[in-house]
Amino acid sequence: MILLNCGNLTIEGESIGGLATYLRIKELDLIFDLGRCPISFIGTNHVFITHFHLDHYFGLPIYVSQRWLSNMPPGKIFVPAEGMEQLQNILDSIAKLDSQQTWNHHLISVKIGDRIPFRRNLVIYAIAVNHIIPAIGYLVCEIRNKLKPEYLGRPGSEIAELRRTGVPITNQVELPLIAYLGDTQSVSMDSHPLLNRCQILVCECTFLLPGDRQRAKKTKHFHLDSLISLVKNFNGDKIILTHFSQRYSTHLIQQQIEQAIPDPTQRAKIGLFI
């Protein structure tokens, strides 16, 4: 598996176009997509599936069955509403084939625009992406309490007294941490007002070469041509590129990125999950 440190978050897993994508952010107790399921991922309690191509969700039977066999409570599995019933049938059929029983699991239907609190101080937004089948991207935000402007600079003793007497002295703010877009032909910063300044944007880059433009268009995958404007318009810290086609070597990927983004300052924003 690949480990990529991004500030205070670590992305681990793999992402190869058409083969398997599964990414865990252990610090946030979540997994994005589950095309395969390493045993080390079983204890992670939240799974967010972007769409129902096999290389993005077919590790779910292992995840569900291993938690069931270990007498663990079922993890929360968030999936696009389009296809949830079919997924339920798939999991039940595999369980009966495997053990003559049904496995205890918890599927949660998600639609674009949903705001999902999933830990005490975290929420996740389901955002629109552009793929060949119904798909959802996810934006994780941390909730913090911020002192209201009128109380800034006041002595700590005064702030403590106001808090003691029940005066509301803070506002809740949401800080965008990481966005994961799954498979998408394009990235629209209009998908959510906080997307443009999230710390980390995880974006596929399946196709790189000029000869692949038509295939990218047909299959609705991201092409390197679109990266230039994305880098210029993104105000966050890091863009992590994933899901490269199996036909590309590591050397070719690095070479094509360097040619497309010659400015070292802009290229420093890019991380490659390879």
User: In angstroms, what is the C-alpha Rg of the chain?
Assistant: 21
Question: What tens digit of pLDDT does each residue of 97-139 get?
Answer: 999 999 999 999 999 999 999 888 999 999 999 999 999 999 9
Q: Is the pTM of this model over 0.75?
A: yes
What total number of domains does the chain contain?
1
Which CATH number goes with the domain that contains 262? 3.60.15.10
The one-letter amino acid code at 90 reads I
Question: What tens digit of pLDDT does each residue of 145-185 get?
Answer: 776 666 666 777 766 766 777 766 667 789 999 999 999 99
Residues with Cβ < 8 Å from 188, sequence gap 6 or more?
128, 130
Which residues span the domain enclosing 94? 2-272
Token duo for residue 202: 């995880």
**Roughly what angle, to the nearest 10 degrees, separates helices 84-99 and 60-69?**
50
